Structure 1
Amino acid sequence: MKTVTLAPHEFHANLLYNSDGLAPFFACDSEVKSAGGAKLAQFQHDGEQWRARLSYQSSNIVHPGETTPQGTDWQLKEMREYRIRVFRDPDVDHAGQQDFTAHVAPRWEGMRGEKDSGGTVEIPVPDGFGEGVNVRVKGSNIAFERYVPLLCEAATVLGINGRYFEEPHQFSNVQDAERYARIHKDASGPVHARDGPIASMGHLLESDRQGYRKIVQNDDDEHGQNVPGYYHTATLDTRRVREAFPDHRLPKEVKHYYAREAASLPDDDPLAHPKVGASLQVSLLDDDDTVRWSDTDRLRRELDQTVLSVLADAGLDVAPGSGSGPFVEDAYFEPEVDHSGPDPIGIDLTRVRQSQESVVVRHVADGLAPTQWEALETLVTDGGEVSPDDIADQHGRHVESVRRALREMEDLVHRKYADVSLRSEHIAGLVHDAVSEAREATRRATETVGKALEAAERGMGETMSAFIAWAARHGVDVDDAQDARLRLRFGPEVENPDKAIREGFDVWTDAGLPEERYRQAKVRFPNGAFGDAWRSLR
C-alpha cells in the first residue's frame, strides 16, 4: 500500500565504540590542542553542504592515573570530553535546524565520576567492553540512518580517522526518536477531537490506576491564546501499546501539537499548521530492556505505523492521489507518496470501546452481588492504591469474599499482586455511572418508602400511598395540599414528562382518586417550565 513518507524530528542515541580502544578519544584531544582549542571544517554529504566544529569541555571523570585499569598509558593531565557539532552550512543551505552534537567521552570498565557533593559514582560500562568511547548523539530533523555516516565524514574533515565511528558496538542504544507528518489545521480536528484516536487511545487502553498514565489535552498556547489541539498527547507503555498494535513492543507518546508561535503566523507559513507525531518513550521500558542501535529500522517502522494509523483512524487520506491532500510541506517534511513505509493498522478503537461497554452492561444487567457493588464503588471513589484487604476493611467483609467477587469480574477489573484496578479509564467512567445510578435508585427507593409512610401518617390511606410511592420511584415530587391545586414536579431523570403524566394518571385513577383533581394538577417540567396536566391527557 502506498502511504505518505514521514519525516524525522528529535533523535538521541548512545553510540559505543571499542574496536580501536581509546584511539578516537586521543585523536580528538590531539586535534583540539593543535587547533588551539577548537576547529571548524566543512564537507559535502548527499549533495548538501555541511559544517563540523570540534571543541572540548571539562569532565567529571575521575583521573585514572598513569594508566587505565586495562594498562593503557594516560598522559593527559586534565580530564576533558569533546564535542563534534555537525550542521547544515547556513551560507549555502536554508534548511533551518538540521544539526546534531556528538559528545565524545572515554569509557573503561570500573571508571568513576565525581559528584557535585564531592563523592564519586560508578559510570556504567557494559561487561566485557574493555576500553573505548561513548558518543552521545543528540540531533533533530535528520534521518536516523544518516547520523553515523555524517559523523564519520565530519570526523574525517576535522583530522580524525572517520573509520573509528563506522561500526557502533552492539550495546549502542537509542534514547529518543520521533517521526511526524505536518497536517493542515483545517483537516487535523478529528485527530485531536475528544473522541478522536489520541484521546481514545489514552482512555481505552489504560488501566485506571496502574502503570504510567499521561493524557494531555491543552488548547491554549503559552500566551493564553486559544489554539484547538495546541498540545494533545497520549502516552502508552509497552503492554498498552500492544492492545492497539499487537506486533509493536516499544512504548510511545502519540501527539498532535503546534509550534509556540503558530497563532501569530499566516496560513501560508508551515509552522501555522500542527504536527502529528509519535516518539519513543525509553523511560517506560522494563528495567532490563533497551532499544539497540540495531533496532533502529524496527523503531522507525513502529513510529511510522503509529502515526499513519492514527491519521487513518481520524479519516485522513494517508496516500493522496494528487496534490498534498491534508498534508503541509515544511523544511523537512515533503509529503511524497511511495511504497517505502509500513501499512497503517486499523486501530479499531470502536471495537475496543464497544467490547468494554458490553462487559460493563453484561455485569450490571446480570445483577451484581452486594460484595461486587461494594468493590466497584471503592474502585471508582478511592484515588489511591486499592487492595482486596482495603475493600474488605471498608465494607466489613471477609477478604476471601472480596477476592471471590473480584475473580467473578476479571474482564472488568485488573488484579496484580495486592493491587486492584479497573481495566481502563473508559470502563472506570462507565462503572462510575453505573454506581451513581445504583446509588440514585437506592435513594429513590428509600424516599418511596418514606413518602408512602408519610402519606399514611397524614391519613391519605393506602390508595394515595400507592401513588406517592410510584411518584418517588420515578423522580416526581408531589405536593397535595388540601387547600391548593395538586402539584407535580418532575426531576431531570424524567426523560418523557408527557408519558410520565399519563402513567401517573393511570396509577391515580386505579387508586380511586378524583380524576378531575389530577387533570387540574400544576406541572413543573424538567427544564423548569410550567404547565397543566390535562394538556398531556387529551
Structure 2
Amino acid sequence: MREFELTVQSAEDVVGERSFHAHIAPRWQGMQSKSGSEISIPDDLEEGVNLHVQGSNIEFDRYQPLIQHAARAVGINSRYFDELHEFSTILDAERYVRVDKNESGPVHARDGPIAQLGHLLENDRTGRRKLVQYDSDEDARDRPGYYHTATLGPRRVLEAFPSHELPKEVKHYYAQHTVSLDNNRSIAHPKVGTSYQRSFWNDQLDASPADIERLNRELEETLLSVLAEAGLPLRAGTGTYVKDAYFTPTNSERDREIVELDFTRIKHRQESVVIKHLADGIAPTAWESLEVLVTDGGEVSPQDIADETGRHPGSVRRALDRIPELVEREYEKVSVRSKYIADLVHDAVTEAKEATRRAAEAGAKAIEAAERGLDQSTSAFIAWAAKHDIDVRDRDGDELRLEFGIVDDIKRKLREGYELWTAADMPEDRYRMAKVRYKKEIDSGLRSIDKTEMKSFASVAWHHLG
C-alpha cells in the first residue's frame, strides 16, 4: 500500500517557511508492517488515514482547513478531514516574539527569568533536567544569549504558574549563522519563545478546538510573564519587538491576565523549608544523606547513600522520609528538590564542617594558652577568636588587628570581643584603637572600620556595659 506526501506553502512566501508537510498513510484493522508486526489502530476505526503534519509560521487552528483545501487540490474528498479522530495528538508547538537584540539581554541574563526558572523550579537531578546556556554559535563565535533554554515538567510549571499544567520550554535563541548579519535584517534579532514539551509528561493534548485554545493560552501567558519578569514592555510600538517576514508585533489581550513570576516568593518558600529542618535538627543519617546528595554528581539511590555513609539502607530510607520537603524520591532515585535548595543545603553542610573545624581549633588554642600559663579569661578570648575564624594580630609596637571572615552583624561581634578582652584585663584603649577588617555576605567585598569609627563604637559599647 502506498503512502503519500503533501507539501503546502503560502503563495506569498518566497522563502518557503510558512508551510507544512503532511505524510498521509492509509490504515485499517489488522494491518501489518512489512516485518509482520501488527500496526496499532483505534478499536472504533475500521479504516482511515493517518496524517503526520509538521509546519511553521501558521496559526494552530488553521491546519485542519488548510489540509482540507490541499486535499481538494489533488482530487481527494475533503470530507475525510471534517472531523479528527479523538486519538489525534499535538506533538509540538511554539509561540514566540522577535526581540531587538539590544533589548533582549535581561531575558537570558544569569539572573534573568530563564536562569531562575531552571535553578529554582527544576529538580536538582533527574533524567530530563534541562537548563541550557550557550553563548557562542556553531563556529565558536561569541553571541551572548545564542541558545538559552529552561525546560519544566508539569509539577515545576505548577509552582510558577498555578493555573498551568502543560510542560514547557522557555527559550531565547538566534538563528544559525546570524553573528555577521546586518541589524536591519529581522533574522539578526533573537526569538524569545515558549514551546510545548510532550515528552515531559504522560498525558497528551488532542487537536480539538478546546485543547488548541488551552495550548495557545498557556504558551502566550508564559511568554508574556517571562517578558514582564525581564522588565520588557508588553506593548507593540515601543521599539522592543521586531517585525519579521511572518508576524507583525500586535498587542495581546492576554497581558491583562499574565501570571506574575514571583521568584522572591519561591525563594522564601524554599529557604523556609531548609531553615525549618535545620532549626528542628536533622538526624545524623539524614544529614549524611543530604551531604551525599549535594556533593555527588551522578544519579543517587538510597543504596548508593548507604554504601557511601556506611549506614543501613533501611535507615537511609527512613531518614529521607523525614525530610520530604528537601528531597524528592522516585522509584530508587533520590534528588534534592531544586538547585536552589541544593545550594542552601550545600552552604549549610560547608558551614557545619567549618564550624566543627573552628571548634576543634578553639579548643586546641585554649589548651595551648593554658599550657603557656595564660589565665582562663585570656584563654576565653583566644578561643572566641578561633571559634569565629578571627585572625588576631597583637604584636608589640603595632596596632591591634582583627580580621573577620563574612559577618552579618559586625557590631555585635565586636561587642562580644570587647567584653572578653576587658574581662582578661587587656588594655581597653588598644581594643578601641584596633584595625578591623571584615566581609559582608551581600557582596563579599572587604570593608574596614577606621579608628574614628572604632572609637565611636567602643564608647557606645562602654556606655552600654557601664
Using the aligned pairs only, state the percent identity: 55
Aligned-residue offset at 1:379: 2.1
Residues 305, 342 of structure 1: 8 Å contact kept: no
**1:320-469 matched pairs, under 5 angstroms:** 320=236, 323-324=237-238, 326-339=240-253, 343-392=257-306, 394-397=308-311, 402-469=316-383
Which of 42, 53, 70 is equivalent to 1:154? 70
Q: Which residue of 2 aligns with 1:131?
A: 47
Q: Compared with structure 1, are the counterparts of its residues 342 and 301 closer, same or farther at alpha carbon in structure 2 (3 Å cutoff)?
A: farther
Unpaired runs of 5+ in structure 2? Answer: 456-466
> Which amino acid is the alignment partner of residue 344 of structure 1?
I
Residues 253, 278 of structure 1: 8 Å contact kept: yes
Residues 402, 434 of structure 2: 8 Å contact kept: no
Residues 9, 16 of structure 2: 8 Å contact kept: no
Residues 435, 451 of structure 2: 8 Å contact kept: no
Other structure's SS at 2:53 match: strand
Q: Matches of 1:530 and 1:318 in 2, distance apart?
A: 42
Aligned-residue offset at 1:377: 1.6
Other structure's SS at 1:113 match: coil
**1:482-497 matched pairs, under 5 angstroms:** 490=403, 492-493=405-406
Other structure's SS at 2:179 match: helix
Q: Which residue of 1 aligns with 2:424?
A: 511
> Which amino acid is the alignment partner of residue 8 of structure 2?
V
> Which amino acid is the alignment partner of residue 177 of structure 2?
E
Quote the RMSD (CA, aligned, Å): 3.5
Residues 81, 105 of structure 1: 8 Å contact kept: yes
Residues 477, 490 of structure 1: 8 Å contact kept: yes
Q: Which residue of 2 aligns with 1:87?
A: 9
Q: Matches of 1:529 and 1:208 in 2, distance apart?
A: 32
Aligned-residue offset at 1:178: 1.0
Aligned-residue offset at 1:424: 1.4
Q: Which residue of 1 aligns with 2:21?
A: 101
Q: Matches of 1:525 and 1:312 in 2, distance apart?
A: 38
Other structure's SS at 1:267 match: coil
Residues 248, 302 of structure 1: 8 Å contact kept: yes
Which of 78, 100, 104 is equivalent to 1:188? 104
Q: Matches of 2:448 and 2:296 in 1, distance apart?
A: 43
Aligned-residue offset at 1:371: 3.6
Q: Compared with structure 1, are the counterparts of its residues 338 and 508 closer, same or farther at alpha carbon in structure 2 (3 Å cutoff)?
A: closer
Other structure's SS at 1:194 match: coil
Other structure's SS at 1:262 match: coil
Residues 123, 338 of structure 2: 8 Å contact kept: yes
Aligned-residue offset at 1:214: 0.2
Which of 165, 171, 174 is equivalent to 2:87? 171
Residues 400, 430 of structure 2: 8 Å contact kept: no
Q: Which residue of 2 aligns with 1:3?
A: none
Q: Which moved more, 1:436-445 or 1:124-133?
A: 124-133
Residues 392, 403 of structure 2: 8 Å contact kept: no
Q: Which has the higher contact order (CA 8 A, sep 6+)?
A: 1
Which of 125, 128, 132 is equivalent to 1:209? 125
Q: Which residue of 2 aligns with 1:311?
A: 227
> Which amino acid is the alignment partner of residue 287 of structure 2?
W
Q: Compared with structure 1, are the counterparts of its residues 477 and 374 closer, same or farther at alpha carbon in structure 2 (3 Å cutoff)?
A: same
Q: Which moved more, 1:520-529 or 1:456-465?
A: 520-529
Q: Compared with structure 1, are the counterparts of its residues 333 and 341 closer, same or farther at alpha carbon in structure 2 (3 Å cutoff)?
A: farther
> Which amino acid is the alignment partner of residue 352 of structure 2?
A
Larger of the two Rg values belongs to structure: 1
Aligned-residue offset at 1:519: 8.3
> Which amino acid is the alignment partner of residue 420 of structure 2?
V
> Which amino acid is the alignment partner of residue 415 of structure 1?
R
Higher helix share: 2
Matched, 1:290 2:210: no
Aligned-residue offset at 1:154: 2.1
Matched, 1:111 2:31: yes
Q: Compared with structure 1, are the counterparts of its residues 174 and 184 closer, same or farther at alpha carbon in structure 2 (3 Å cutoff)?
A: same
TM-score by length of 1: 0.73
Q: Which moved more, 1:105-114 or 1:133-142?
A: 105-114
Residues 463, 513 of structure 1: 8 Å contact kept: no
* CA deviation string 1:246-269 (max 9, x = no partner): 333321111111222333223332
Other structure's SS at 1:337 match: coil
